[in-house]
Structure 1
Amino acid sequence: MNNLSLDTVLFDLDGTLLDTAPDLAFALNTVLVEQKRAPLPFEQIRPWVSHGGNIMIKNGFQLNDDDPTLESLRQRFLTIYADHIADQTRLFDGMAAVLETLENKGIQWGVVTNKSAWLTDPLLHKLGLASRSVCNISGDTLPQRKPDPAPLLHACQLANSTPEQSIYIGDASRDVEAGQRAGMRTLVALYGYIGAQETPTEWGATGMLQKPFDLLSWIDQSIN
């Protein structure tokens, strides 16, 4: 898709814009220890993060969907996480320069995540990002969530942009699916929380980013 304009870059949050895994792993391991379980290695937890708290609890405690303890453990996990939401979370290495470069080029950027607003909003505020982004779409902003395209289309409306003038970057197959269904170009954040068993090259994305800074070279090569 060369020779197309670009005025909006939309990011998934966990594993794409922000490295949230340390704080989420802390929350999960805290719950495990409270329940007299052994904490898990960070590298084991990291690929679970993009799939949300429910999956983290299910995997961490090896529970089924119908386990009666699942919801109470998830709520405890979220409470701990909310209290430590920005202790270690940072922009991925190089992302600060990427955002600054986008802003200097007159390209606006925003966030579209399945993370609930009561977690997304405080996190972005604490990191000084909320006022810089053109939109912050959370998992409960609309009735629909990714892979439904509605959140991305809503982001375009708030950004006064169109899907054709936007790209969406994420680290999960549902991110690519949502972007494709919205009519956007999509990029995979290979530096994100992608498990060894996942095959991002088969997701059908427009391109791949080995590191955040690759976005700038992709824009230079692909967009006029």
Structure 2
Amino acid sequence: MRPETGMSATGFPALVLFDLDGTLLDSAPDFVATIDVLRAQRGEAPIAADQLRPHVSRGARAMLAAAFPRLDQAAREALVPPFLAIYREQLARHGAPFEGVEALLAAIEGSGSRWGIVTNKPEALARALLPLLGWQARCAVLVGGDTLALRKPDPLPLLHAAQALGVAPGDCAYVGDDERDIIAARAAGMPSVVALWGYRPEHDDPATWQGDALVASAHALIDPAAWPRPR
């Protein structure tokens, strides 16, 4: 397949790759509901959303550590399978795309560019979300955390997504709310966008991540001028 190059005629990257949780999708309410089921099973009170929200982008184990700080690592590890099983039942029941995301995706599509998802969420769960959000026919490529042998912050998932669509890495852009996203993009040779609207612990400073652009809202990315230029 001949690689696509450069920007679209309207100024968007040829391929925009997104992280999922905390970038496209405000999934924290689904995870709060999931944790509350687990806590109820153990006779514990519901968790405060603000206690869990900063850990969502770090995955199941980080959320379980925040929700059950008194359990040791082995006990929390045993909760991962039931956590994922309960979460599957909560998919998109409480969460929704972040404000501006739908308009942004429409703008990318309208420009002639394509978009896809590279997430550390298990592929089966990420793929199950697409029809619930109406994205199954729109998302050009999806790479999950278990699709390949390595996951972010390794660049392999980003490079795999670009190669699958025949786009040179430097002509893509990757958007994420976690430092691992920016590390992976830099290693892949992709311009990176830090999604400041996402989830992160209070001590994290996105200004130190060396992203190519820091953007406060998905709405701002509807302006092609907000995107970093190809490498």
TM-score, with normalisation over the residues of structure 1?
0.93
1:50 to 57, 70, 79: 57
Structure 2 counterpart of 1:187: 193
Conserved 8 A contact 1:163-1:183: yes
- Distance in 1 separating the partners of 2:169 and 2:134: 27
Deviation at 1:35, TM superposition (A): 0.6
Q: 1:24 aligned to 2:24?
A: no
Structure 1 counterpart of 2:205: 199
Conserved 8 A contact 1:32-1:38: yes
Deviation at 1:44, TM superposition (A): 1.3
Structure 1 stretches of at least 4 aligned residues deviating more than 6 Å after TM superposition: none
> CA 1:71/1:223 → structure 2, altered by over 3 Å: closer, same or farther?
closer
- Distance in 1 separating the partners of 2:63 and 2:229: 38
- Distance in 1 separating the partners of 2:228 and 2:73: 48
Q: 1:88 aligned to 2:123?
A: no
Higher mean displacement: 42-51 or 28-37: 28-37
- Distance in 2 separating the partners of 1:174 and 1:52: 12
Conserved 8 A contact 1:130-1:136: no
- Distance in 1 separating the partners of 2:15 and 2:141: 10
2:45 to 28, 38, 59: 38
Deviation at 1:140, TM superposition (A): 0.7
Structure 1 counterpart of 2:3: none
Q: Where does structure 1 lack aligned partners over 5 or more consecutive residues?
A: none
Percent identical pairs in the alignment equals 38
Deviation at 1:128, TM superposition (A): 1.4
> CA 1:190/1:135 → structure 2, altered by over 3 Å: closer, same or farther?
same
Conserved 8 A contact 1:46-1:193: yes
- Distance in 2 separating the partners of 1:176 and 1:53: 20
**Which residues of 2 match residues 1-224 of structure 1 at below 5 A?**
5=7, 6-63=13-70, 67-217=73-223, 219=225, 222-223=228-229
Q: Secondary structure at the match of 1:169?
A: strand
- Distance in 1 separating the partners of 2:119 and 2:83: 19
- Distance in 1 separating the partners of 2:214 and 2:66: 28
> CA 1:221/1:44 → structure 2, altered by over 3 Å: closer, same or farther?
closer
> CA 1:167/1:222 → structure 2, altered by over 3 Å: closer, same or farther?
closer
> CA 1:126/1:80 → structure 2, altered by over 3 Å: closer, same or farther?
same
> CA 1:63/1:10 → structure 2, altered by over 3 Å: closer, same or farther?
farther
